Amino acid sequence: MLDIVIVGGGPIGIACGLEAQKKELSYIILEKGPIVNSIYNYPVNMQFFSSSERLEIDDIPFISKEAKPSRTEALEYYRRIVTSNTLNLKLFEKVIEINKSESAFHIQTTKASYACKNVVLATGFYDIPNTLEIKGEELPKVTHYYKDPHFYAGQKLAIVGASNSAIDAALECWRKGAEVTLIIRGSEIGKRVKYWVRPDIINRIEEGSIKVYYNSNITEIRPFEIDVETQKGIKTIENDFVLALIGYKPSFNFLEQLGITLSKDNAKKPTYNEETMETNVKGIYLAGVICGGMETHKWFIENSRIHAKMIVEDIIVK
């Protein structure tokens, strides 16, 4: 029987594996995709808001060409940590079910079964997008993930959202020749947009290069056009593609199936001990951004990498 099964092979899951290995605990990391699957699925040209040293785990230096590293540099950094430390990481192995008996947790994956004394959930939140809940959202022209601006060159592109992902996509796609329209529910660009990006998007909007509708929502999507509810009424716009970049959320159903209670407010914050990271289910721990529930902007690699030591120390004490 393993001491720990870590669900999620992102930076925080890797940090938990490193800590368990140092303390000579038996463990396994289960990742449903490649190493750091979420970062792999980020936009190809993404640059982190954080500096490289703030993305480091286990005091392993992260050297990047610029102060704020790129997605490619992060992928290489975390891959080298996994390979250099021969971490017990199983890739492309999705967890299907976790059950608890009196003496152990039993984990069933797409490839195998495991038994363990403790479970660490480091699954993040990037797998389930928030949706618009409107007619036409199921059309193939609509996506909730942005990858590469080249795809949208010469196309009429509507981008829903006001935060970093939406603004980065708008600027990149416009520079590759897309006709970009931003649709923003609020009255301005998001306050958490990267400080070096904000002047760029504001200037592009003011000069008319990127169209924007504030205080507006898409109400229907059709194959070649969309309806936008604006302060002046419904406006129909010609459209080829829609990027609905309005955020993501953890798998709340999965947490509840495990018996983890969530807060009753809109945040849906999971219950856990802030000193040990153990949930209300004894033996199940949370690590990383999953701790924030819907408040996904509160937890990052830099302020949740400490969870690994907290969790392993608590397990050792027990």
pLDDT of residue 299: 82
176 CB neighbour count, 10 Å cutoff:
16
From the list 248, 253, 246, 250, the residue with the least C-alpha distance to 217 is 246
C-alpha span between 198 and 221 (Å, rounded): 28
273-317 pLDDT, tens digit each: 999 999 999 999 999 999 998 887 788 888 899 999 999 999 998
Q: For residue 42, what is the DSSP state? A: S
pLDDT of residue 136: 98
pLDDT of residue 300: 84
Domain boundaries, the chain: 2-128+248-317, 131-244
Is there a shared CATH topology between the 2-128+248-317 domain and the 131-244 domain?
yes
Q: For residue 291, what is the DSSP state? A: G
> Which residue reads 């592109």 in tokens?
157
68-85 pLDDT, tens digit each: 999 999 999 999 999 999
C-alpha span between 307 and 272 (Å, rounded): 12
C-alpha span between 17 and 33 (Å, rounded): 17
Residues with pLDDT less than 70, the chain: none
pLDDT of residue 128: 87
15 CB neighbour count, 10 Å cutoff:
29
Q: What is the architecture of the domain spanning 2-128+248-317?
A: 3-Layer(bba) Sandwich (3.50)
Assessment of whether the complete model's pTM goes beyond 0.85: yes
Which residue type is seen at 285?
Y
C-alpha span between 19 and 3 (Å, rounded): 12
C-alpha span between 75 and 257 (Å, rounded): 32
For residue 286, count CB atoms less than 10 angstroms from its CB and return exposed for 0-12, middle for 13-18, buried for 19 or more.
buried
In the sheet that 217-222 helps form, which strands lie side by side, from edge to edge? 217-222, 225-230, 233-238
From the list 172, 176, 190, 175, the residue with the least C-alpha distance to 247 is 190
pLDDT of residue 124: 86
> Which residue reads 């194959």 in tokens?
223
Q: Which CATH superfamily is domain 131-244 in?
A: FAD/NAD(P)-binding domain (3.50.50.60)
112-123 pLDDT, tens digit each: 999 999 999 999
